[in-house]
Structure 1
Amino acid sequence: MQMLYNSDSFAVVSFDVPDAQGEGPLNRGGYEIVDKFARKEIFIQGALAESFKQGVQALIETGPSEEDMDSFIERFASLSQQPLVLH
């Protein structure tokens, strides 16, 4: 588990779970996106997680502002249905 991004609006955490043979860095992992204002979260994995990763990498190459990052993350966070629950 690794915190990748944390702003006033969103937090993004990466979960990397290698397969049983230790091959493939994101075989069963994914990303948890927390929308702090909506108080919702979503866990994305598989093709959606790969799309998110590639989009973030492309955005980083442009030197984005926090608003740019939040705008990109919001597209994925808008899919969240799970209310945020604190333990």
Structure 2
Amino acid sequence: MLMLYNSDNFAVVQIDVDADDPTRDAPGDGLSLAVPGGLLEPALRRGGYEIVDKLAGKQLFLEGAMAQEFKLSVEALVETSPSTDEIDAWLGRYSPLAQQPVILH
């Protein structure tokens, strides 16, 4: 797990799957995923991004093609050197998708 972003409103964590994990999809298992611009990066086949909306107390996990699109969008956003408010506004687009309540354990 890697904390990518943390503000008063949102937190974003990247979750990777260990390449040695026996439950990970094996190469050549017939699960090649096509996304705009090419094939899905192998690291994102099982990993993804968790977005926590702290104000709403909800979270969302993006994986697969949505995680790939999120990654590309974040890279484009970072190139503009956004402020914290701009990043929070951008992440706010994902808030309606967050349905899972945040549970501390």
**TM-score normalised by structure 1 residue count:** 0.90
Distance 1:80 1:20 in 2: 26
Identity percentage over the alignment? 54
Give the CA RMSD over aligned residues: 1.8
List structure 1 runs of 4+ shifted beyond 4 angstroms.
Answer: 19-23
Match of 1:13 in 2: 13
Distance 1:40 1:20 in 2: 29
Match of 2:61 in 1: 43
Instruction: Write out per-residue CA displacement over residues 15-67 of structure 1, whole angstroms, 9 at most, x where no aligned residue.
Output: 11144668922220000010000000011101111111111100000110111
Larger Rg computed on CA atoms = 2
Secondary structure of 1:44's counterpart equals: strand
The partner residue of 2:78 within 50, 60, 76 is: 60
Structure 1 stretches lacking a partner, 5+ long = none
**TM-score normalised by structure 2 residue count:** 0.75
Match of 2:35 in 1: none
Count of aligned residue pairs for this structure pair: 87
The letter for the 1-side match of 2:46 is: R
Structure 2 stretches lacking a partner, 5+ long = 28-40
Secondary structure of 2:14's counterpart equals: strand
